[in-house]
Amino acid sequence: MSERRAYLDHAATSPIHPEVIEVVASAMATLGNPSSLHAAGRQARKTVEESRESVAAALGARPSEVVFTSGGTEADNLAVKGLYWSRRAADPRRARILASAVEHHAVMDAVRWLGEAQGASVEWIPVDRSGRLDVAALRESVRREPESVALVTVMWANNEVGTLQPIGEAAAVAREHGIPVHSDAVQAVGQVPVDFAASGLDTLTVSGHKLGGPIGVGALLVGRDVKLTPVQHGGGQERDIRSGTLDPPGFAGFAAAVDLATRDVGTHAQRLRELRDDLVRGVLDAVPGAVRNGHPESSLPGMAHFSFAGCEGDSLLLLLDAAGIHCSTGSACSVGVPRPSHVLLAMGIDEELARGSLRFSLGWSSSRADVDALTRSIGSVVERARAAGVFL
């Protein structure tokens, strides 16, 4: 029998829920293209629309506002590019994009591309030491020339350090001037309450595989009066916003995962918070001087991010992996050269310290045993990583 491994990387992908597997398998056994008019097609369309209604009900949206996509990256690209092109076409002055400095690369790289290839003027709105958006800086940037702003994009919760953003405040600033706001809520759904109607947002991204759903499916919630220029063209599916053959099994599994994740989010969040707090205490006890990053209170209940002085994040990750513990490093890798995370640098964390960072993230399948495995191992792992660094 293989040794149990501790999975502390739900923010990367969460194990698919057994109930979701059953839903997907059942739907896969049913023939039909949802765009066909015959009985098989109508049955497939029924699955799609019931899935749409379920997702809408769980996230405080109208069914017509749910646009199914292949996941979070496509949804973010559709929102950012679609809003920019639509707004710019209506008024060529609208060339500015205001984005938080700690966005996920699905947003950040799309915004950068619009700046490099589509004439956008990009402004990165700063965050404080905890990774929380500077709302005053956003307000000042908007008020400086509101008629030139194409869109604002601020993630709901940061995918590295877990800090929750002041979405309501950001949306209110933009709403004063009729500026649309997008939010990547991939990490937030299932851990904190997410209500699209109450948020004041125009578009919102959610992804299935972060919730115990299938990989390769997600949604962009799009307000019914919001105009988006499509990124891809074809059969005109999904309000002519996102063409492509619809995926009834994937959508059904996604809807089931969203329902399971949001059905009793308060109880789920409390369980994760208790596990996370034990994890934090255990790490800080085992590694004196470890630095916890992110907002101390306004943060995802299932995420804890640390920096360990004198270590490389990749070394820590591989040593923990050898000990049977899965987590993520806080650094990205480009052409084989480790770089500190743009999120940590935007928070003002020293570059050398930022390189020795790890993210531990909990989800529906997390247990006390996972936390205990980490707290037993982290002390010796950090010692070995620091010793290795001395001899490099």
Q: Which residues are marked as active site?
A: 333
| C-alpha closest to that of 151 among 76, 213, 214, 224 | 76
144 token code pair: 């400086």
Tokens in use for 15? 């194990």
Q: Is the dihedral of CA 21, 23, 28, 34 positive or negative?
A: negative
C-beta of residue 153 within 8 angstroms of C-beta of residue 182: yes
**Which residues are within 8 A (CB) of 4 and not within 5 positions of it... i.e. 6 or more apart?**
324, 369
Distances (CA, A) of 223 to 181, 186, 284: 11, 18, 44
What phi, psi does 290 have (nearest 5°)?
-60, 140
Residues 6+ apart with CB under 8 A from 283: 290, 292, 304, 306, 360, 374, 375, 378
